Amino acid sequence: MDAKRYDRIRDLFLAADELPPEDQRAFVEAEANGDAELVQEVMSLLGEHDPDSARAEGENAMPVTSPIDIPTSAPMARSTQSPPAKQSPPAKQGSDDDTKRGDDDQRSEVPQKADPRPARKTVSPSEITQHGGALRTHASPRDLETDRSHHRSSPSDILFAKKSRRTQRVNSGWLFLAAVLPTAIVGVWTYRSVEQSVRIALHNELTGVADSVSLAAGRFMDDKAQLVQSWSRQTQIRNSILELVEFAETKPSIDELQAAPQSDRIKVELQTLSANKSVHFIVWNPAFTTIATWHEDRSNVGRPVLPQDASDVAKALRGEIVMFGPKRMDNMTDSYLPKIDRPVMACIVPIFDDQREVVAAMLVSGIGFYDQFNQLILDASNRNGLDAYAVNADGMMVSESRNATSLASRGLLDFAAEEIADRLRVTDPGFKLDQDNVARVHRRAMPLTESVASATLAESNVRLDPYNNYAGESVVGGWRWNSDWKFAVIVEKGVREAFAPARIVWSSFLLLGSLLSVTAFLAANRLARRSMIDQVAVHPLSRYEIVSELGSGGMGIVYRARHRQLGRDTALKILRGDRQNKEDRLRFDREAKLAASLSNPHSVMIYDYGRSEEGEAYCVMEYLNGLSLGEVVARSRWQPVGRVLYVIRQICEALIEAHSLDLVHRDIKPQNIMLSFDASVGDWAVVFDYGLAKPLSPDSSTYQTSEVVWAGTPMYMAPERFRSPTNMDPRSDVYSIGCVAYYLLAGRPPFAECDPESLFALILSETPIGIGIHRGEEVPESIRKLVARCMAKNVDDRYQSVAELARAIDLIRDDFPWKIDDAAAWWKQYGD
């Protein structure tokens, strides 16, 4: 539609609006000179127009200052284009607020008419864009005050009678203010004061315990390292090692090296110094060859260091002291330490010659290092009433946590209590462990808890905001990273225990307030409850519990509801009270019927539909718990190519089924596609809002409604839809899919203009800015060609069906992988 035709429609509308309703059609037909489409458009606008509501809207209109004139009786939401603005500045790229459902259903403000000729008033260009951009077939509220009251009303006010509630408020309102309100104010103030005190004390407690345990563990490591280093300097041990190093340089046979007496002298001296007959040791020369060992048969003498052990030996040969473990050796083969059931800790120290050059490295273990370290952590945990444990740089628990031991004894871990250390990876299962869900825990695929993830990044912190521990329990905690020995100490406390004092105060005041409320409302509730029960019992929606309002559009209000018997969350859509005319009811019926005919899992599912005895039309749909594609881009800007192909492919599946049923969606846009995370497949897209869907070949079984000029969101509408709005072509949906792909890849819509006429001109004749310019990086040629072909101006140049587009995506998807782990990482960072 061009500006000239729009002016023609507007003038006819204004002139006919002055006539009695019974004379309007004859007048329009006479003036239209045989243009049936023009008659249909004007009569449709007149059918929606309500002069009384227009007058009320005019009285409540916002003050305006811009010198641009528009007619006061401009068409309502069914108008297809704003009056042409003379100097409308272009909107910023990516500004697609007019695609939101609420904005879709806005209507132009209509000031009160002062005389038979339409008065004019001044508005700003941005206001023209805002109010003229309503391009949906769904009509907007007839009265602004009615619309506002809808948003203020509670779900129960809309679904059930209000009389009993009003009586209850009148009878007991003053008593409530006098008794409950002061108690609530004092209670909130007291609770916040106590909570603040508890948080300060808790912060100090966690800081003190974490510091003390970390300091004690660090000192333990330092002491053991100094002890072993002092043994390595003992004359008998040092001379024996130097002799072996010198002997090994002569390249003796393995038998000669194994028969060298120095190993026995080292062993005897270490047993004497440690007062422990089970002490273990091993010595390597700079060639990483074993030259001495505690083994009786000395079978490993002359053998090289294994690859997994080489890094520790190399550090010692560079002059560093290395603390090995705690680590379990039962699953390792041919290691330099014995395979035992308990974790092993060992100290590796350098051996110096007389010139202070490192000539060998010696490992000492078997003298209770791990048991002492573990007991130190357990004592701190028991002494402070906290769950304390140590973790290594890989996020593995290397001590026996008190809480983990309890979980293992109850069968909630995959191993016994004595096998926790170096087997429990400290990850967040995402749910609280119990007997029913323990089998679902696969820790290798789960993220580390917030405390351990931070600690393994060499961070030390205290967190009082609750987070999940390795059992899925809500805790607060503190952690300290020891950079010298590469381990962290974690101390955690359950949230319920940590904030128990504040909870007791809150519960006390809550109980007191409840008692006062019961006293204040007892008499009124008895009468109101009887009335309410009578009404609810016969209402068809009584089996649903309204949880919250999700949104309000031109046709209806959508609530989040829960089925009382099944416990299933649903989206409950109710036709607005001011939209009960025949046309709106038929359109509401059509949306439910068309959506219910779809069975693809990527299309929204319809559970129930009907009307109450009072005539309230409702539709119960699948509750989509996730983010719209618009919200996805708002949170993380442009998306990876692999993810875009993955999501668009799922959208294609939904539309392939719809097109196979001769149904064109006509309103594909980011706000009508919900994305959620499914642990089994990753990203999961669902197409919803079939309110503008239209059959290609209507029949008597489909409710028909009169078609207005345009239906859909301009930014994502195909060019042919502007030229011929009534023409149904599935390839228009292909164009919209291309626009959505562009939006995901670029982080911005392909066209954005605040002036509708400028926006239409761009869509009809211009090519959008290159995706790579928005992203700041080049996009592969195959992707550019795919999007460009979808958005071709000529329908014959596009993919001729959504199925063909899906096949094209399948040919290149392997080049741009998007895995479940990729999706999980995105949802972990942006999905909250």
Which residue type, as a one-letter code, is found at position 98?
D
CB atoms within 10 A of CB 112: 15
The angle subtended at Cα 785 by Cα 781 and Cα 790, nearest 5°, is 155
667 catalytic? Reply is: yes
Distance CA 133, CA 156 (A): 32
Q: Which two tokens stand for residue 680?
A: 């089994």
Return the closest-CA partner of residue 795 out of 740, 723, 744.
Answer: 723
C-alpha span between 58 and 144 (Å, rounded): 10
| Nearest CA among 639, 664, 657 for reference residue 746 | 639
Reference 652, options 721, 730, 560; nearest CA is 730
Please report, as a single letter, which amino acid is at residue 288. Answer: F
| Contact status, residue 647 vs residue 599, Cβ threshold 8 Å | no
User: Do 473 and 435 contact (CB within 8 A), yes or no?
Assistant: no
How far is the CA of 656 from the CAs of 604, 624, 744, 802, in angstroms? Answer: 14, 21, 21, 6
Q: CA-to-CA distance for 735 and 790, rounded, in angstroms?
A: 5
The CA-based diameter of the chain, rounded to the nearest angstrom, is 123
- In angstroms, the first-to-last Cα distance of the chain is 43
Is residue 358 within 8 Å of residue 345, measured between CB atoms?
no
User: Hey, what amino acid is at 777?
Assistant: E
- The one catalytic residue in 98, 309, 387, 667 is 667
By the 8 A CB rule, do 579 and 533 touch? no
Find all residues with CB under 8 Å of 44, minimum gap 6, and list them. 78, 706, 708
Helix, strand, or coil (residue 292): strand
In angstroms, the CA 733 to CA 654 distance is: 11
Q: What is the rounded CA–CA span in Å between residue 326 and residue 400?
A: 11
Q: Do 670 and 628 form a contact (C-beta atoms < 8 A)?
A: yes
573 is in an annotated binding site: yes
Q: What is the DSSP string of 79-134?
A: --SPPPPSSPPPPPTT--GGGSHHHHT-----PPP-SSSPPEEEE-HHHHHHHHT-
Query: At a CB cut-off of 8 Å and minimum separation 6, what does 208 contact?
Result: none
Helix 641-660 × helix 781-790 angle, to 10°: 30
Sequence-ordered list of residues with C-beta below 8 angstroms from that of 537, at least 6 positions apart, any chain: none
Within 8 A by CB and 6+ apart from 725, the residues are 80, 707, 709, 710, 711
Which of these, 43, 2, 4, 50, lies nearest to 23 by C-alpha position?
43
Closest CA relative to residue 90, chosen from 832, 761, 779, 606: 761
- Nearest CA-CA partner of 669 in 576, 565, 743, 726: 743
Contacts for 62 with CB less than 8 Å, ≥ 6 apart: 109, 127
Closest to 199 (Cα-Cα) out of 451, 509, 499: 499
Helix ranges, 670-730 (H)? 719-723
Distance, in Å, from the CA atom of 100 to the CA atom of 630, rounded to the nearest integer, reads: 9
- In this structure, how many other beta carbons lie within 10 angstroms of the beta carbon of residue 568? 14
What tokens were used for 180? 């409950």
Which amino acid appears at position 459 of this protein?
Answer: E
Tokens encoding 432: 């609280």
Residue ranges at the known binding site: 573
Give catalytic residue positions.
667
Binding-site entries for ATP: 573
